[in-house]
Structure 1
């Protein structure tokens, strides 16, 4: 069913909480374990029940878990009666989809109860991705080295992690399409799918990826439920709970030369860039974004172009100093995002080197740096190939300060 263009689509959330939670051990299924004073299921459900774009929520529980469910989850106008799941995740999702049959849902978000830290922003992105593509799953970069284990627990092939993504929930679909995919799997006796994106792709659908979140952890192993470990993690997160975002924008005209410097990387080009220091428009925009998040002026205030010592200087030192100021304030760089605007040079062949160099300068993992490029469809100074522009955003986390209203 296509969502009407005249109104937002009707969205339902389906939360899978029917598992036995064997890997987490303990005296009850992990979804009912205490997590900071409430059941993990309650924390997972609240993100969807309180979200303004979610119309209804269905929770699938295991047979015999009714008492645990009612002790964990309070009544809510959006909440449907719990559905009873099956022996597999696939069967449980099918039961949840059936429970939503009369809800008039156009989009359904399928979420694991074992991910209690889902943010409102991630839910927004899931809804938007499903509306745009029909099927989408959140994904994050793989930062660990991944290998294939061979017989006898020996290390085998190391996989190229630049091509790998770690998938999360909520996974988002047009409701009718996901129902049809599950029905086909049931007819053909296909079982064992561990996530709905895989089932949907098997049924012939295309599944888009959208940006997941590092904080959207799946709690599975016993050590993750250690009370003191959770308290330490909570204290560490709250200690840097003042999340700020800054933006930066810069423009430089082309001039004589045979290369440009973008993101700290030398790129051959028929022209150079004219302007402050080495005219690295990308690093200038990123520096302003970091300083903006700090509320500490701009690049011109810290490194005046009138001061001749900055003439021809490497712009990496500007970004490094801005990041040093964040750390001096007790904060961390959470993410840097850059968009370069111009017809040429092409950024794609240099993107990964730029990400690596920016990460090196800022002292962050490369997974926390985004680099993109766009054109202005031949409009304006950039479209006329008179120069380049760059937009940037920086997200930082700082300690709460005195007088901050939490």
Structure 2
């Protein structure tokens, strides 16, 4: 019985996809695309191990979804593959791209049935259009559109990738290294997502869930007699600031936690540790902007936020509209979807004694609906 590891490449930046979202984070129901593809493959029972390559920024979030082996990708597809092969100890390895999302069990079975016949098994499609290369018409019968997944003898692929050349698929590397490959007829349904319009060619993908995802954030900061005060992204006229590692904007910190909670991405201390010197005195608006970009990459859309600021001092009534406008500009939503409320604690507790400020924030997210593009 042959042993096989599946490597799914998902470390790309989706630069050709023309949207803020990374295509590996498009949702199928409530699952990201990479998880949808991996789960379909896992259910076949053909694989002894599944490896997902990913950018470093994505790996920790991916771990919330599944227990696959996650490997940091490289700057190129080939480097990502080489990184993954360090974790492969099976006789054979099947390599595919997460963007080739509608691979079915029958196709996998067909590829695997050729195991042992060559160093690489390669699915391909015939060309039906006229092909012109360098202003000369060439015989289209001699041209093949190569697909993934490709099944390779692990030792042959590892040896081939020791070469300095860059290859766009596994079989080309193996052949250049003196190995053999076998071509088998592929499937049109195994189309790869490269551009937005490719989504319409994949019938196996269902629409994302329409669920609303809610999160709550809470933060407090004591006053400090040094520095300036920033609250809700706005400089407040005050003789004191907040005691904090960053600029101490307690409203934005609570909002960050609410957004992270809605997305299931942990908390502010995990994303922006207060023991990391690079966040010393950090502008909280920039931290919020970093998170908003990440949320978009991961396929989330911000619906609305609601922030309650509890303080005896300073009085913030005159600043609320400016806060709404500032926060809405960072979140990329209309100002009416950002609500700011102010209250006191009726002289009770540390807030009532005028020693600091507390903030509760709520945020709602939805999945990006790629079916409406």
Structure 1 length as normaliser, TM-score?
0.47
Matched, 1:34 2:51: no
Q: Deviations along 1:18-66, whole A, 9 cap, x unmatched?
A: 1111111211321112245532212221232111221111111112112
Matched, 1:18 2:6: no
Matched with 2:299 is: none
Matched, 1:181 2:160: yes
SS at structure 2 position matched to 1:24: coil
Pick aligned residue for 1:133 from 118, 121, 136: 118
Matched, 1:109 2:97: no
Supply the distance in 2 between the matched residues of 1:234 and 1:57 (Cα, whole angstroms).
21
Matched with 1:200 is: 174
1:291-330 correspondence runs (5 A): none
Pick aligned residue for 2:55 from 62, 68, 71: 62
Unaligned residue ranges in structure 1 (runs of 5+): 1-7, 151-155, 237-406
Structure 2 length as normaliser, TM-score?
0.51
Matched with 2:66 is: 74
RMSD: 2.3
Matched, 1:97 2:89: no
Matched with 2:184 is: 210
Q: Which one has a bigger Cα radius of gyration?
A: 2
Q: Deviations along 1:260-304, whole A, 9 cap, x unmatched?
A: xxxxxxxxxxxxxxxxxxxxxxxxxxxxxxxxxxxxxxxxxxxxx
Q: Is the 8 A contact 2:191 2:201 kept in 1?
A: no
1:3-402 correspondence runs (5 A): 8-35=1-28, 37-70=30-63, 73-75=65-67, 79-80=68-69, 82-100=70-88, 104-148=89-133, 156-183=135-162, 185=163, 189-190=164-165, 192-225=166-199, 229=200, 233=203
Cα 1:230–1:199 shift into 2, 3 Å: closer
SS at structure 2 position matched to 1:214: coil
SS at structure 1 position matched to 2:27: coil
SS at structure 1 position matched to 2:16: helix
Q: Is the 8 A contact 1:85 1:91 kept in 2?
A: yes
Q: Deviations along 1:344-373, whole A, 9 cap, x unmatched?
A: xxxxxxxxxxxxxxxxxxxxxxxxxxxxxx
Supply the distance in 1 between the matched residues of 2:197 and 2:60 (Cα, whole angstroms).
26
Supply the distance in 2 between the matched residues of 1:145 and 1:40 (Cα, whole angstroms).
34
Query: CA offset at residue 139 of structure 1?
Result: 0.9
Aligned residues: 206
Supply the distance in 1 between the matched residues of 2:158 and 2:23 (Cα, whole angstroms).
28
Q: Is the 8 A contact 1:129 1:135 kept in 2?
A: no
Q: Is the 8 A contact 1:136 1:209 kept in 2?
A: yes
